[in-house]
């Protein structure tokens, strides 16, 4: 028997009550999931982070090689700076919507997976179902990497991975790549009355940011892939900080910027062009005044693009389970590209809508959870018939 909606909601309430903001430990949530799975005779492997403050979980219903991995992340984005109508860590049902941090991204999916465990465990499955729960997805998809690294050694490599990120239960076979950078411009301080003695770090940072915008314009006019929105790679600056006082030529300025590239884009194109402009055009001008002036470019996070291969078994499976005719793409990054790179055909399909993720009063519709439960029970049926 598939679980009732109230069972799913009860599980979701428990998951939401753990404050698993990426900066915090997720160990209590993982312990809860492990104990829950133990109750159905399903053993879990925990893969701790280097500092031991977090862990991911891999659990197999019916052991064996291959199998279908159903994957979620346990962490969520912060609530700081957001105005919530209710306690974000207390799930609240109103008008068919379940409000709470992580309800959409992506504890709703995990609640559906856990609620389906009794059904999975009661079936004579022909192949394994593996439950995967990661951490630090929201900060560069770093937590799942050690787990994936163990596929084929002490963990089986799933034959298919379903990443349950919010897609309104539509089938997603691609997303862009993400690269984030920090750039630090170091110039030379001087009195603002004698600016020619200094190197204005903010002004040079501004020139670099103009170059970011020029690169963006080049990509917008040269690339086109209508499967993506927008149909080209994009880049933009996100934050900037610099200077000490209005009467001092600033000697430092730093800014963070991000690139979202089409899967087929040359991964280094943007960085190469940005670096060339920094080193060949700006640095000589800066160092003529202050030989120690510098522009430092640090890579922060990088999440590979995801593009399912033509005829992907993962996409075919998700299409069959949802009854959809075709797959589409999303404009956010996920762990899917990492699974695909590791040789697991992957698809993204899960409850909730991007508009409700990461915002104040995040919610998931109960109808979405119902649709996900029916997706998972069809999966159980398919694997046992």
* Residues lying near Zn ion in the complex (CB under 5 A): 105-106, 165
Residue 138 CB, shortest distance to Zn ion, in Å, is 7
Nearer to Zn ion, 12 or 119 (CB): 12
Nearer to Zn ion, 171 or 205 (CB): 171
Contact 253, 202 (CB under 8 A): yes
Residue 120 CB, shortest distance to Zn ion, in Å, is 23
Nearer to Zn ion, 183 or 346 (CB): 346
Alpha-carbon distances of 221 from 214, 216, 228, 261, rounded to whole Å: 11, 9, 15, 14
Return all residues near 160 (Cβ < 8 A) that are at least 6 apart: 68, 69, 313, 314, 317, 344, 345, 346, 347
Nearer to Zn ion, 78 or 118 (CB): 78
Residue 286 CB, shortest distance to Zn ion, in Å, is 41
d(CA 130, CA 383): 13
Contact 200, 250 (CB under 8 A): yes
List the Cα angle 226/227/229 in 5-degree steps. Answer: 75
Residue 166 CB, shortest distance to Zn ion, in Å, is 7
d(CA 339, CA 325): 24
Nearer to Zn ion, 65 or 331 (CB): 331
* SS3 category, 328: strand
Residue 137 CB, shortest distance to Zn ion, in Å, is 6
Nearer to Zn ion, 165 or 361 (CB): 165
d(CA 221, CA 210): 17
Nearer to Zn ion, 165 or 362 (CB): 165
Nearer to Zn ion, 108 or 250 (CB): 108
Burial of 59: CB neighbours in 10 Å, binned 0-12, 13-18, 19+: buried
Closest residue to Zn ion, judged by C-beta, is: 105
- Tell me the DSSP string of 274-293: HHHIIIIIIHHHHHHH-TT-
d(CA 77, CA 350): 18
Residue 340 CB, shortest distance to Zn ion, in Å, is 17
- Token representation of residue 171: 């089938």
Residue 229 CB, shortest distance to Zn ion, in Å, is 19
d(CA 316, CA 158): 16
Residue 165 CB, shortest distance to Zn ion, in Å, is 5
């Amino acid at each position: 028997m598939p679980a009732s909606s109230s069972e799913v909601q009860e599980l979701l309430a428990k998951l939401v009550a753990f404050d698993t903001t990426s900066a915090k430990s997720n160990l209590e949530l993982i312990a809860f999931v492990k104990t829950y799975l133990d109750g159905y005779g399903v053993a879990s492997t925990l893969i701790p982070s280097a500092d031991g403050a977090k862990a991911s979980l891999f659990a197999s219903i019916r052991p064996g090689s291959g199998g279908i991995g159903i994957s979620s992340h346990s962490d969520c984005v912060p609530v700081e700076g957001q105005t919530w109508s209710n306690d974000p860590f207390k799930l609240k049902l109103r008008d068919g919507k379940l409000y709470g941090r992580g309800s959409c991204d992506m504890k709703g999916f995990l609640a559906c997976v856990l609620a389906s465990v009794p059904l999975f465990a009661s079936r004579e499955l022909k192949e394994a179902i593996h439950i995967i729960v990661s951490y630090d997805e929201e900060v560069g998809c770093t937590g799942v990497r050690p787990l994936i690294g163990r596929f084929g050694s002490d963990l089986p490599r799933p034959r298919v991975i379903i990443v349950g990120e919010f897609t309104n239960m539509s089938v997603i076979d691609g997303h862009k790549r993400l690269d984030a950078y920090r750039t630090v411009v170091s110039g030379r301080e001087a009195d603002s009355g004698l600016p020619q003695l200094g190197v204005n770090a903010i002004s040079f940072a501004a020139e670099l940011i103009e170059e970011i915008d020029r690169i963006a314009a080049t990509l917008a006019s040269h690339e086109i892939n209508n499967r993506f929105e927008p149909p080209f790679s994009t880049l933009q600056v996100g934050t900037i900080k610099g200077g000490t006082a209005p009467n001092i030529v600033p000697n430092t300025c730093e800014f963070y910027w991000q690139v979202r590239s089409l899967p087929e884009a040359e991964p280094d194109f943007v960085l190469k062009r940005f670096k060339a402009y920094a080193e060949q055009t700006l640095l000589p001008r800066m160092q003529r005044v202050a030989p120690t002036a510098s522009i430092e470019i640090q890579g922060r996070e990088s999440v590979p693009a995801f593009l399912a291969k033509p005829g992907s078994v993962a996409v075919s499976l998700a299409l069959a389970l949802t009854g959809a005719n075709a797959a589409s793409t999303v404009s956010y990054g996920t762990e899917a590209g990492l699974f695909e790179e590791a040789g697991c055909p992957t698809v993204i399909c899960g409850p909730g809508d991007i508009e409700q993720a990461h915002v104040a009063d995040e919610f998931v519709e109960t109808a979405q959870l119902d649709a996900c439960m029916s997706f998972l029970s069809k999966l159980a049926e398919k694997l046992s018939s």
